[in-house]
C-alpha cells in the first residue's frame, strides 16, 4: 500500500446531493476498496502521530467509520457524539446552526473525564459548524480538544476559520 496511492480516485463526487448545488463527497467507494480504506486510516494516523491523546471522539455517522478504525489502530478509547435522541444514558447536548434551521448533537455525560485529551474525527470538514459543536460538548465535560482530523476538507467553506482556536488536520483538500 504505497504512499503513491491517490485517495481522491477512490472518492466519488455526486453533484446536487442531497440538494441542488451541493457537491457530495461520497466515501462509500473508498470504503469498498480495502487498500484505499487502509491507506486513508494510515494517513489519518500519520497526521496525529506523536500527539498525546486519551480518546478519539467521532461524529455521527460517517465519523464513526474512520474514528473507530483510528481508535483501534492507535489503541485509544472511542467516544461517540450522536444526533438527538439516540444515546440511552444521561447526556449533554449542544445546538448549532445549519445552512437553514438548527440541529443538535449529544454526548454521554460520563464519556470523557475532566482533563482528558481528545482528538475529534469526521469524514468531511465543510462549514465547521458540526465540528465546533462537538468540541463544545467535549469542553462541557471538561475535556481538552488536542486536535481535529478529517479525511476531506472543503477549503472554500471556511471550516478551518471557524475552528481557528484549534489544531486542524486533513488528509485531502478540495
Ligand atoms: P459542516 O458542519 O458544514 O462542517 O458539515 C459537516 C458535516 O456534514 C459532516 O459530518 C459531513 O459528513 C457532512 N457534509 C457536509 N458537506 C458535505 C459534502 N459536500 N459532502 C459530504 N459530506 C458533507
26-80: pLDDT as tens digits: 999 999 999 999 999 999 999 999 999 999 999 999 999 999 999 999 999 999 9
Strand, helix or coil for residue 1: coil
Closest CA to 127 of 111, 106, 103: 103
Is there a contact between 52 and 117 (Cβ–Cβ < 8 Å)?
yes
Residue 160 annotated among the catalytic residues of the structure = no
Given this model, what pLDDT does residue 158 score? 96
Instruction: Report residue 141's pLDDT band, with 50, 70 and 90 as the boundaries.
Output: very high
Instruction: Report residue 99's pLDDT band, with 50, 70 and 90 as the boundaries.
Output: confident
Minimal-distance CA residue to ligand 1 atom 23? 124
Distance of CA 126 from the midpoint of ligand 1 (Å): 5
Alpha-carbon distances, residue 138 vs 24, 37, 52, 122, 128 (angstroms): 28, 27, 16, 15, 15
* The one catalytic residue among 12, 42, 60, 62: 62
Given this model, what pLDDT does residue 3 score? 58
Q: What is the pTM of this model?
A: 0.97
Question: Around Cβ 101, how many Cβ atoms within 10 Å?
Answer: 6
Minimal-distance CA residue to ligand 1 atom 3? 127
Residue 62: DSSP 8-state: H
Is there a contact between 139 and 164 (Cβ–Cβ < 8 Å)?
no
Given this model, what pLDDT does residue 106 score? 98
Exposed, middle or buried: residue 77 (CB in 10 Å: 0-12, 13-18, 19+)? middle
Closest CA to 172 of 66, 98, 17: 66
- Angle (deg, nearest 10), helices 62-74 and 34-47: 70
Given this model, what pLDDT does residue 4 score? 76
**Average pLDDT for the chain:** 96
**CB-side exposure of 116: number of CA atoms within 13 Å?**
24
Mean pLDDT throughout 101-107?
96
Given this model, what pLDDT does residue 1 score? 47
Cell of 137: 460538548
Amino acid at each position: 500500500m504505497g504512499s503513491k496511492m491517490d485517495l481522491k480516485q477512490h472518492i466519488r463526487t455526486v453533484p446536487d446531493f442531497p440538494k441542488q448545488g451541493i457537491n457530495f463527497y461520497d466515501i462509500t467507494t473508498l470504503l469498498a476498496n480495502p487498500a484505499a480504506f487502509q491507506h486513508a486510516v494510515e494517513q489519518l494516523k500519520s497526521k496525529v502521530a506523536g500527539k498525546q491523546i486519551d480518546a478519539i471522539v467521532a461524529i455521527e455517522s460517517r465519523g464513526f467509520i474512520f474514528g473507530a478504525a483510528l481508535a483501534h489502530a492507535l489503541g485509544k478509547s472511542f467516544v461517540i457524539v450522536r444526533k438527538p435522541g439516540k444515546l440511552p444514558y444521561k447526556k449533554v447536548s449542544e445546538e448549532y446552526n445549519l445552512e437553514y434551521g438548527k440541529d443538535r448533537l449529544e454526548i454521554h455525560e460520563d464519556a470523557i473525564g475532566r482533563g482528558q485529551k481528545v482528538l475529534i474525527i469526521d469524514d468531511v470538514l465543510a462549514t465547521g459548524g458540526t465540528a465546533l459543536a462537538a468540541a463544545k460538548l467535549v469542553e462541557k465535560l471538561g475535556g481538552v480538544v488536542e486536535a481535529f482530523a478529517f479525511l476531506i476538507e472543503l477549503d472554500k467553506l471556511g471550516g478551518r476559520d471557524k475552528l481557528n482556536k484549534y489544531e486542524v488536520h486533513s488528509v485531502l483538500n478540495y
